[in-house]
Amino acid sequence: MTIKAFQKYRPNLHFAPKENWLNDPNGLIYFKGEYHLFFQHNPHDTIWGPMHWGHAISKDLISWEELDIALYPDDHGTIFSGSAVVDWNNTTGFFHDEPGLVAIFTHHKDSEDGRPAKQTQSLAYSTDKGRTWFKYEGNPVLSHETKIDFRDPKVFWDSDNNKWIMSLATGHTITFYSSPNLIDWKFESEFGEDKGSHDGVWECPDLFKFKTEETEEEKWVLFVSIGDNGRSDMGSRTQYFVGSFDGSVFKEEHNDVRWLDYGKDNYAGVSFSDIPEEDGRRIYLGWMSNWRYANEVPTVGWRSQMTLPRELSLRKVRDKYIINQKPVGELNRYFERNVNIKDIAIHQGESKMYNVDEPYFELFLEIAKGDENQFGISLNHTQTNRTTIEYDSKSNTVALNRDLSGEVAFSEMFSLEQSVSIDDSATLTLQIIADASSVEIFINGGIYAMTSLVYPEKICETVTISSKKGKLSIYDGYLATPSN
């Protein structure tokens, strides 16, 4: 294997493992000045296999240092997804002089006699900022006699009711448990029957509280990832529910299905625990892939990466509560705005081209939406490869096409169009961040997101903005490339 082949498609702004396989982010947590990213990891191959918890740390959520593997398989099974918390008040009894980290994760043990695998919840703890982990000798702490799918615990401290709450994926439902000490768990309720989408098995829940930006109303949000059923055009993806939670029961307030992302490559994402109150953000990170083709993407020596970390908020848009997401502010330090794109009119049949030829870039545009508008943005990777983003005022949709973006033959679904119907506001804003093998689009300030992998020879030589129908009026915008 050549160094060039090994580094091909490796991202500059996104976390990817040094080598071998990565999937779900696990144990996202902030503690003593460090962001911790644990992740599903097969250290022996570039395809999914016996799961460990890989580990990386960061000071700014963008530059990551990969550390030694945190959790290894044991007699209880391999180490599936889970979460981590700071036990500030030593509810577990694991700590003495100061708080420490506790990981709550799924043990997955395959049966040797043909029966279904067994999934149970277990604990590990660290007294040295996550560098060393000790498995709890009483593992597992939670099991179920009949549920085969019983995994992905996401835990938080419910300060209103003075107890830990666990959200657990249980087939096509989410089951809530509570505990005073992370060891002894009590069933609270089960949510999900006849709710939302059931196109695939439910996974990787996350329950948290927001105040809406517009009204300061307090709402609870539940994220649920949905596995690939092998038939849909989207594969695996993530939905969310908005409602209330009383410490025991979650109740949704809507009947429609709400998708977190309209691209194909954002799955199993959860939010960071223990972000300081003075920071106040809800920060999210997802796995940038899709189970339909995750094992086949054309990287060499390593496989998969994470999305950009995103700041989440809850907005009320025309009486509908919507998750808004935008890249974390720390990302701005990695860009320098060197081309202004302001007060520009592009008439039908015309285009404007901007040179890029950098390893990554950001393009922002604020555009007037006309009644008869069709325009396109082409990321010209090379003279023959391109990814296009198009807007059509008649259907009021934004679409991304990657069928000519580079390597696409590894999956029939990879080349299918990705699109979203947007609101009828007078302007359209597009924030496009392209890295070595990805394009992330945040539409209208982050009301809509579209996350997509691409595999070109290089990310972009030029960007072309063209009008296919009507006059395209760009009020404001810029092109930003790597800062020095």
Question: CB neighbours (10 Å) of residue 202?
Answer: 23
Comparing CA positions, the residue from 281, 306, 290 lying closest to residue 225 is 290
**Pairwise CA distance, residues 23 & 121, whole Å:** 19
Q: Is 24 a catalytic residue?
A: yes
- Are β-strands 310-317 and 282-287 bridged in parallel, bridged antiparallel, or unpaired? antiparallel
- Are β-strands 320-327 and 310-317 bridged in parallel, bridged antiparallel, or unpaired? antiparallel
Longest dimension (CA), the chain: 71
**DSSP for residue 129:** T
Q: What are phi and psi of 91, to 5 degrees?
A: -65, -25
Q: What are phi and psi of 40, to 5 degrees?
A: -65, 130
For residues 304 and 289, the answer to whether their CB atoms sit within 8 Å is: yes
Contacts of 387 (CB under 8 A, 6+ apart): 378, 379, 381, 400, 401, 402, 404, 405, 439, 452, 454, 456
Comparing CA positions, the residue from 373, 467, 387 lying closest to residue 427 is 373
**Pairwise CA distance, residues 32 & 36, whole Å:** 10
- Are β-strands 20-31 and 302-303 bridged in parallel, bridged antiparallel, or unpaired? parallel
DSSP state letters, 328-385: -GGGGGGEEEEEE--SEEE-TT-EEEEE--SS-EEEEEEEE--TT-EEEEEEESSSS-
For residues 94 and 133, the answer to whether their CB atoms sit within 8 Å is: no
In terms of Cβ atoms closer than 10 Å to its own Cβ (0-12, 13-18, 19+), residue 435 is: buried
Strand order in the sheet with 186-191: 151-158, 163-169, 174-179, 186-191
Q: Which two tokens stand for residue 189?
A: 């309720």
Comparing CA positions, the residue from 294, 324, 290 lying closest to residue 310 is 324
Q: Which residues are the active-site residues?
A: 24
